[in-house]
Structure 1
């Protein structure tokens, strides 16, 4: 583990950029960026276009380590180049931004009010490749839609079981049990979730380090006690479908919680913008998210 990167993520001021749209979410990301599905005819062309979008974001002067601590990449992005360097190396060596990798394979069908992760059969090989590509940590997402204790327990147990495998490789996993912001019993689900996370944290080995990526809680500062846990490097928040304005407003009320936004970060960016327009829009978003993250 890179100790300089660990310290930056643990104690640095700023937020984590989520640039990890994959599979079914990539067409949506491109459409938001102003590129319709008619502009590409196969998966390779689609991924080439989304890499161009991510490259434009990463190379922007707005994408600066004074505000952005880390960036989460999709596997396809990890294996591509920016100016002759693999993306993770470009991020760290040229930008001073810590690279993470999304490792999950998507969500299983809804059961017991939750969607656990699909199996990750090639996890060991993927982690070995991530290490060779100088990745610092990983991210994996599950979704909680109801305050169902059995379902939430399954989500958290699966997340931590895989997280332990990742820790053994010397990487820092971002555990992401997202609570759907539209859940009718979101606050009750968050209470169950926090109890399950606390139980799993208490079972970790002494030196194990993880991160948590959680929906912005209904009750302000609800996750503050998790931030002080010695196993927790950082607690970050997803935007979860909130608009940028909503996400920033809610985040700013939660002291110590920092952003790990995707849609809320890229909101307003389009392929047709000039570089000046693009950079101005991204600068505005980066600065607003940063300010909310350091409250």
Structure 2
């Protein structure tokens, strides 16, 4: 079972009570809930870039490259459901000698007939992402598994460059990210934990102030993923797209934080009672002496 630790950090502050009885007081409490985990998958990103005498020509080449790359990724053990092709974008639309984003393609393109004739061409690109699931249960094991898997993918890329240089010339070298994620039910569970703890702290402050907590007036939430920013997943991993991801380039634990800021009203009846002096007899004596004077 994947090791998960929970951290609860709560910061509270108590707002000053109004001196007027017609104005209600407030109690503000801020809570945080967090969960840490090891990254669950390794994500590789590769960019395909092709040129053609027209957009249709370049798109045909892109489609052929996508099919070939998908076969390589599946042979390397990538999760079939994780392979995703992004939107195709136009890199350039010009005439003259073609200059690729990748050095190996630049050497193959120099002196081509299309470039020599000065024909117009269109260059298109598309980003491809694929994921491999980690089996590691500890951080030391993750370090070994990450570097082993990364090296296997890079070795396969170098092999393609030797065996099919024309195809490899269309691919960028792969880049890697380690990805942790939680789904929506897990995020809601964290949100509930943060809210419950903030409410508990607000209740403790109310008890110290000798008042009762009233209804909730305001609630704000903020998600924070470390070391990356929170965002919904754009990759349909495990046939779901409601995942919240955190990405890192190091084989280390990642954290998911949810912060809650609450403002509760103070029960008006208890607010008035809390302003009654602690010693009524002393107060009565003070009033009688004042009348006598």
TM-score range, shorter chain: under 0.3
Larger Rg: 2
When the two structures are superposed, what TM-score results if normalisation uses the length of structure 2?
0.23
Structure with the greater relative contact order (CA < 8 A, sep ≥ 6): 1 or 2? Answer: 2
Bigger proportion of residues as helix:
1
When the two structures are superposed, what TM-score results if normalisation uses the length of structure 1?
0.22
